[in-house]
């Protein structure tokens, strides 16, 4: 089990396990939010504290809500809106957890900015690397 929090401590996130990998995506949303995302079944995630949500409406159909701490503005992750994913999943901003908890988890670099709905997954911008304290991302 891993437990993280936003900088002001108003929101905590508990996940049942370490994620299989982390995404450092360059899509317009992830790049602007500065997240490093781990993926989980929503049943594996507990979010405590008050959050507000930004619903991403620049994509049709609307598919993501981004919960954040109203106290400090830290992004908690993303949740699906509308059609549920199969299998169900959500993204968690793993930067809310201490770097020691992330050591060794593979980091992937999908080209979210260049991705189109016609391809099943975004191409990779770089080779996968393990998370480390001196990671340049």
- What are 73-109's pLDDT values in tens digits? 999 999 988 777 778 899 999 999 999 999 999 999 8
Q: Does residue 123 have a pLDDT over 70?
A: no
pLDDT at position 47 over 80: yes
- N-term to C-term CA, the chain: 24
Ordered structural domains, the chain, with CATH: 2-115+122-130 (2.170.150.70)
Cα–Cα distance, 122 to 110 (Å, whole number): 6
Determine the pLDDT at residue 75. 97
What's the mean pLDDT when you consider all of the chain?
89
Burial class (CB in 10 A: 0-12, 13-18, 19+), 69: buried
């Amino acid at each position: 089990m891993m437990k993280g929090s936003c900088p002001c401590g108003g929101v905590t996130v508990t996940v049942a396990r370490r994620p299989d990998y982390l995404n450092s995506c360059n899509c317009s949303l992830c790049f602007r939010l500065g997240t490093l995302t781990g993926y989980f079944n929503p049943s594996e995630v507990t979010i405590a504290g008050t959050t507000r949500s930004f619903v991403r409406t620049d994509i049709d159909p609307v598919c993501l809500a981004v919960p954040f701490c109203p106290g400090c503005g830290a992004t908690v992750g993303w949740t699906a809106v509308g059609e549920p994913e199969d299998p169900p999943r959500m993204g968690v901003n793993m930067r809310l957890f201490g770097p020691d908890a992330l050591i060794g988890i593979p980091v992937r670099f999908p080209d979210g900015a260049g991705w189109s709905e016609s391809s099943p997954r975004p191409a990779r911008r770089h080779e996968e690397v393990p998370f480390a304290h001196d990671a340049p991302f």
